Amino acid sequence: MLLDVLPRLRAMRLVLASGSPRRIEMLRGAGLDFLEVIPSCFAETLEKAAFASAAAYALATARGKADEVLARLEAAEAAEAASSRAGAEADAAALAPPRSPLVVIACDTVVEAPNGEILEKPRDRADAARMLRMLSGMPHRVHSGVVLLGRGRAVIESFTQTTMVEFAALPESLVLAHSASDEDLDKAGAYAIQGRAASFVARVDGDASSVIGLPLQRVCAALRALALAPAPSLAPAIAPAL
């Protein structure tokens, strides 16, 4: 969705607030080879009961990640500007127009079991096996929350995307072998669709990319709109902070 607007996007500073290899690969694959990667330090410990839905929880976590990375970037920019002002030779830089537009892209994905439980990273192998048994042979939902923030916490884009994923029936010996392999002990719902568990998936209905990494088409559509918008829309005032 970006090939014809890449020259405009290259004039911006695009930052992905995630170290997920698959998210990086998807965005770079869409043409954003200049994407910066600054993984968020946001503690993903929001109180789930405080949210009306699993999707709302994912969106709030994405917002927390974006805020945290943006705050670090803006602090670094402020320090740099102060340092420039301190140097006599850098007076011109202090008077220069605002730097290139900045966009922080954050995403969070949660797995909702058929019984409504939000599945996080399993505590141990037994917990991983329990999660896989819940998902076996049943459709479940994967929710992604995405937030794109500009300077001053301007919300460029904010949305949730829900995709249905249906696992094949998993024989108990397979559940035990997979949970014992420790491969997905660090994954929400004890599976990563791009790993061995890809072969569990009989059907997807919705945005398949958001299950793998992030909702690629919608993120790219938002970046496309940004690239084609008149310059003022990149200013901090385009949208109120959430």
Q: Among all residues, which ones are annotated catalytic?
A: 108
User: How many whole angstroms separate alpha carbon 148 and alpha carbon 132?
Assistant: 32
Question: In this chain, which stretch among 26-34, 61-69, 81-89, 145-153 interacts with its own copies, using CB under 8 A?
Answer: 26-34
Quote the least distance from Cβ 133 to its own copies, whole Å.
15
Residues 6+ apart with CB under 8 A from 187: 121
Q: Closer to its own copies by CB, 114 or 206: give it.
A: 206
Site membership for its own copies, residue 195 (CB under 8 A)? yes
Q: Would you say 204 and 168 are in contact if contact means Cβ atoms under 8 Å apart?
A: no
- The helix (H) or strand (E) run that includes residue 150 is strand 139-150
Site membership for its own copies, residue 236 (CB under 8 A)? no
User: How many whole angstroms separate alpha carbon 71 and alpha carbon 82?
Assistant: 16
Bridge-based pairing of strands 139-150 and 154-167 is antiparallel
Site membership for its own copies, residue 194 (CB under 8 A)? yes
User: How many whole angstroms separate alpha carbon 56 and alpha carbon 7?
Assistant: 34
Site membership for its own copies, residue 181 (CB under 8 A)? yes
Q: Closer to its own copies by CB, 100 or 181: give it.
A: 181
Site membership for its own copies, residue 136 (CB under 8 A)? no
User: Pick from 53, 84, 217, 233: which binds its own copies (CB under 8 A)?
Assistant: 217
User: How many whole angstroms separate alpha carbon 214 and alpha carbon 22?
Assistant: 9
User: Pick from 71, 79, 94, 202: which binds its own copies (CB under 8 A)?
Assistant: 202
Instruction: List residues binding its own copies (CB under 8 A).
Output: 1-4, 26, 29-31, 168, 170-171, 173-174, 176-178, 181, 194-196, 198-209, 211, 216-218, 220-221
